[in-house]
Amino acid sequence: MKVNEIFYSLQGEGYYSGTPSVFVRLSGCNLRCPFCDTKHESGVAMTEDEIALEVAKYPSRHVVVTGGEPALQLTDTLVDKLHHLGKYVAVETNGTHPLPENVDWVTLSPKHAFVGAEATPVITRADEIKVVYDGIHDPSSQYQSLAVDTPEHLFLQPCDTGDPTRNAAIVEAAIDYIKQNPQWRLSLQIHKILNIR
């Protein structure tokens, strides 16, 4: 597998926000989202055993496999190796490729509203949906047409445009949307707010 980085921090987004987590960032993505804030292209080749050995160095039970798009590389055997270490395996995905069935938690962040039909998710399971909110696209329309059953946990995450004035307007619009549509909850990127990795 091509691994961009493995590091230990706090989950900054969504349902498990604030949870100590080992992040396994796999290299590469099949989409080119205009707001992507992750440099995931570079990496080093690692075997599944090497990845598991690195993850085992950290005390957290929670492991987040992310990218790029982790479904391009993630295997059920790597998930099994992480389970053997006693880890709980969460995956953050755009949903455009199938995932191993043995992952413990699936965060689906659909991107088809921004990228087009080629980004329409195909997965049928999600434990949470996390929609990047730009103040323009209707969040509900981004998941209602999907093959997944609507999960209990729906999050709006204000898009970080790099422009503080625009970001403030997006946050305000997200709060207004959530107040009018209370099935949604706000997800902030607390790792950016706290300036942690």
Provide DSSP, 25-89. Answer: EES--S---TT-----S--EE--HHHHHHHHTTS--SEEEEESS-GGGT--HHHHHHHHHTT-EE
Does 114 score more than 70 pLDDT? no
Mean per-residue pLDDT, 80-107: 96
pLDDT of residue 39: 66
> Considering the chain, what is the average pLDDT of its residues?
88
pLDDT tens for 149-183 read 778 899 999 988 889 999 999 999 999 999 999 99
Does pTM surpass 0.85? yes
pLDDT of residue 148: 74
pLDDT of residue 139: 80
pLDDT of residue 31: 59
Instruction: Check residues 119 and 52 and name the one with the higher pLDDT.
Output: 52
Structural domains for the chain? 2-193 (3.20.20.70)
Residues marked active site are found at: 23, 29, 33, 36-38, 92, 191
Percentage of residues of the chain with pLDDT beyond 90: 62
Within 13 Å of residue 6, how many CA atoms lie on the same side as its CB?
19
pLDDT of residue 121: 81
pLDDT tens for 29-75 read 765 655 666 666 678 999 999 999 999 999 999 999 998 899 999 99
